Amino acid sequence: MALAHRFADSGASVCIGDIHTERGSEAEQALAAKATAKFLTCDVQRESDLQAAADWLLAEWGGVDVVINNAGGASAGAIDEFSMADWQWVMDINLLGVVRGCKVFSALMKNQGSGHIVNIASLAGLIHPPRMGSYCATKAAVVALSESMSLELDGDNIAVSVVCPGFFRTNLSESVRASDSSAQVMTEKLVSKAKVGAEEIADAVYTGIVQRDYYIIPQADARRNWRMKRWLPFKRYRQMMLKSTAGMMRRG
C-alpha cells in the first residue's frame, strides 16, 4: 500500500487489486482522500481477474500508464522438506501471478502505444541464501522474465522495471509457508527486524519508476551485496555467504 500512497501523493489516479475485499475497500477510502482511487477484487492466480481489471481501466480511465505486479507470498524450508504442494503454491503466485499480469497488460499497452510494467521481485532473486530455495527460485525467475520483456517490448514503447529490495518491514510474513517452525521463525525475523519500512522503500521505488530504471534496488546494503556477488571470485563469495548465513543453515 505504501507505493499506492506514494503515487496518490504525486497526483496519479490509483487502481489497486487484492483478494481481501474488506482490506481493499479500506485502502480505497484512504487513497481517495488524496487522489482518484479504485479498488478491484483481483486474484493473480486467475487470468480472468486481471483481464477484468484491464478492461475496467480501459473503459473507465482510457488505459493505464504504470502497472505494478506486486502480489506475492513468502516461503522457506530445506529442499528435502518443503512440500511440492507448497512449491506449486508459491510458483503460482510469485511467478505465474506476475506472468499473468504481464501477459494481460502488455497487450493493453501495445494497443495504446505506451506503458511501463514494474515487476516486484526481491534481492532473493539476485542473491540466494540457504533454506529459501523456493522463494529465491520464483524471484530469480521474475528477474529473468523482466529482462526478456524489456528487450521484447522496447520497440512497443513499453518500459520494464524489476524491483529487488532486501527484506523490509511489511506484512509479507502473514502469507509465509514454511517446512518447519524454525524456517517460519527465520522468515518472520528477517521481515520484522529489517532496518527500513515500506514507506522508505516506496519512495526509492517511485523515483526509480519515474527515471524508468530497469533495476530498482532500493537499499544501499542490498546494492553493495549484489555488487560483491557480481565482482568477487565465486569461491570467495561462497565462503562469505556460508559464514554470513550459518545461522540459517541450522535448524532451531
Angle at which helix 96-112 crosses helix 47-61, to 10 degrees, equals 30
The answer for residues whose C-beta is within 8 angstroms of residue 4's C-beta and 6 or more apart is 14, 16, 27, 31
Q: Which of 37, 28, 40, 148 shows the shortest CA–CA distance to 98?
A: 148
Q: 116 pairs with which residues across the strands?
A: 66, 159
Q: Which of 7, 131, 104, 127 shows the shortest CA–CA distance to 49?
A: 104
135 annotated active-site: yes
The answer for residues whose C-beta is within 8 angstroms of residue 29's C-beta and 6 or more apart is none
Is residue 248 within 8 A of residue 129, CB to CB? The reply is: yes
**Chain centre distance of CA 13:** 21
Is residue 125 within 8 A of residue 229, CB to CB? The reply is: no
- Catalytic residue, from 135, 206, 214, 237: name it: 135
Catalytic positions are: 135
